[in-house]
């Protein structure tokens, strides 16, 4: 696997499990273009590495797995940049959906927006009582298109409407109750539990694992591509209007005053 570089993602190999860590705790591990690119490369590298049997994705610190999109980057988007931004997410989501090896997310805190979506695209999620998950984009003026498609596939229409339009965050107990956190453990045990599960999954028949995951992806592939096309249309219109920039500026100003 490649050596770590200082763009917010750190990789290591632990007894056949690739541990990938989002590493920008000063901004709650929120991602920008370089960080997304590094994560994409890390996932592809782990999937291609014959020494890797499973993957664990987590965040640095105790506050957040990832706060989602770095709003300081997003506030400068226009229609053209919005389309290239969605294409970056298409590449990352496609890489996660195409993994031949199991992916476990160790939730060490907040998972908001696109980070919530990444967590849902993983195969398993381990969390603790302090975890909060949700789709708050509407609160910062960003249309949510990929999120509702991912949520609908897992949570159904009614809960998707609730989370998309309210922008509310779910606590860990609700996430566990509806099945999007597979195991709730004490905070200090989250990473260990995720690594243990990854070792268990990595010990299973690799061809059967690959074929099962391939079929799970193929079942939803047409919907995924339709979702990306819809996201490009919506975000081009949204960012051309200037509404996200105004709402993001207002949000960041409130945060700075707190």
Residues of the chain predicted below pLDDT 50: 1-6
* Alpha carbon distance, N-terminus to C-terminus of the chain: 41
Q: For 182-228, give the DSSP string.
A: SEE--GGGHHHHHHHHHHHHHTS-HHHHHHHHHHHHHHHHHHHHHHH
pLDDT at residue number 4: 41
Question: How is the beta sheet containing 169-171 ordered, strand by strand?
Answer: 64-66, 110-112, 132-134, 169-171
Handedness of CA 44, 47, 52, 58 (dihedral sign): positive
Listed residue (128, 129, 121) closest to 104, CA to CA: 121
pLDDT of residue 8: 86
Q: Report the pLDDT value the prediction gives residue 245, as an integer from 0 to 100.
A: 83
The structure's pTM equals 0.93
Q: What are the angstrom distances between the C-alpha of 17 and each of 12, 30, 57, 116, 201?
A: 8, 24, 10, 22, 10
Which domains occur in the chain, in start order?
Answer: 9-206 (3.90.226.10)
């Amino acid at each position: 696997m490649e050596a770590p570089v200082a763009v917010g993602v750190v990789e290591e190999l632990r007894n056949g499990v690739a541990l990938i860590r989002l590493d920008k705790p000063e901004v709650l591990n929120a991602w920008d273009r370089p960080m997304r690119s590094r994560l994409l490369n890390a996932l592809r590298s782990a999937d291609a590495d014959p020494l890797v049997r499973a993957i664990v994705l987590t965040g640095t610190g105790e506050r957040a797995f990832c706060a989602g999109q770095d709003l300081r980057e997003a506030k400068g988007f226009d229609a053209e940049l919005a389309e290239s931004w969605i294409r970056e997410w298409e590449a990352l989501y496609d890489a996660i959906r195409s993994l031949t090896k199991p992916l476990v997310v160790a939730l060490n805190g907040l998972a908001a927006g696109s980070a919530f979506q990444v967590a849902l695209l993983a195969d398993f999620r381990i969390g603790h009582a302090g975890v909060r998950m949700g789709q708050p984009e509407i609160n910062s003026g960003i249309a949510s298109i990929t999120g509702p498609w991912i949520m609908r596939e897992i949570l159904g229409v009614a809960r998707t409407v609730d989370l998309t339009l309210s922008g509310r965050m779910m606590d860990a107990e609700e996430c566990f109750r509806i099945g999007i956190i597979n195991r709730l453990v004490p905070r200090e045990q989250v990473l260990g539990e995720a690594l243990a599960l990854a070792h268990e999954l990595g010990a299973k028949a690799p061809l059967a694992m690959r074929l099962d995951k391939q079929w799970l992806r193929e079942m939803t592939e047409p919907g995924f591509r339709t979702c990306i096309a819809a996201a490009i249309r919506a975000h081009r219109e949204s960012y051309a209007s200037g509404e996200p920039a105004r709402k993001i500026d207002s949000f960041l100003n409130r945060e700075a005053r707190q």
